[in-house]
Amino acid sequence: MKLSASTLPLLCAALLSVGGQAATLGTIPALPPGQTAPVPQPPRPQSPATQPPPEIAPSAPTRPQPAPPLVPLPVTPPAPPAAYQPGDPLYPRQWDMTTIGMPQAWTLLPETVRKVSTSKTPSITVAVLDTGFVNSPELAGRVVNGYDFVRDPARAGDGNGRDADASGVGQFAYHGEVVANIIAAAHDGRGMAGINPSARIVHVRVAGVDGLIDPQDLADGLRWAAGIAVPGVSANPNPAKVLNLSLFADFIPLTGCDARIQNAVNAVTAAGALVVVGAANDGADAAGYSPAGCRNVLTVTSATQVGTRPAYANWGRSVALAAPGGETGHGIPVSSLSGPGGVRTPDGTSMAAPHVSGGASLLLSARPRLTPAQLRGLLTRTATPFPGGHCDPEPARSCGSGTLNAGAAVRAALASSLGK
Going by C-alpha positions, the residue among 298, 303, 292, 299 that lies closest to residue 99 is 303
Peptide bond into 291 cis (omega under 30): yes
For position 109, what pLDDT does the model report?
A: 93
Instruction: Show pLDDT as tens, one digit a residue, over the chain (420 residues).
Output: 444 444 444 443 332 233 333 333 333 334 344 444 444 444 444 444 444 444 334 444 445 556 566 666 666 565 556 789 999 999 999 999 999 999 999 999 998 886 555 556 678 999 999 999 999 999 999 999 999 999 999 999 999 999 999 999 999 999 999 999 999 999 999 999 999 999 999 999 999 999 999 999 999 999 999 999 999 999 999 999 999 999 999 999 999 999 999 999 999 999 999 999 999 999 999 999 999 999 999 999 999 999 999 999 999 999 999 999 999 999 999 999 999 999 999 999 999 999 999 999 999 999 999 999 999 999 999 999 999 999 999 999 999 999 999 999 999 999 999 988
Dihedral Cα 361, 363, 369, 373, nearest 10 deg: -90
Distances in whole angstroms, Cα of residue 280 to Cα of each of 1, 102, 247 = 10, 24, 7
Q: How far apart are CA 49 and CA 56, in angstroms?
A: 18
The pair phi, psi for residue 274, each rounded to 5°, is -90, 130
Q: How far apart are CA 33 and CA 36, in angstroms?
A: 9
Predicted TM-score (pTM) of this structure: 0.82
Residues 228, 267: contact at Cβ < 8 Å?
A: yes
Q: Which CATH superfamily includes the segment(s) 91-414? A: Peptidase S8/S53 domain (3.40.50.200)
Going by C-alpha positions, the residue among 171, 245, 264, 234 that lies closest to residue 203 is 245
- The domain spans of the chain are 91-414
Question: Facing residues of 403 across strands?
Answer: 322, 384
For position 82, what pLDDT does the model report?
A: 75
Residue type, 369: R
Question: Facing residues of 163 across strands?
Answer: 148
For position 332, what pLDDT does the model report?
A: 98
Distances in whole angstroms, Cα of residue 260 to Cα of each of 182, 219, 366, 409, 414 = 29, 6, 33, 32, 37
Going by their DSSP bridges, the two strands 16-18 and 21-23 should be labelled as antiparallel
Q: How many CB atoms lie within 10 A of CB 114?
A: 12
| Maximum separation of any 2 CA atoms in the chain, in Å | 136
Q: How far apart are CA 237 and CA 365, in angstroms?
A: 20
3-state secondary structure of 205: strand
Q: Which residues are catalytic?
A: 130, 175, 350
Going by C-alpha positions, the residue among 115, 128, 71, 39 that lies closest to residue 353 is 128
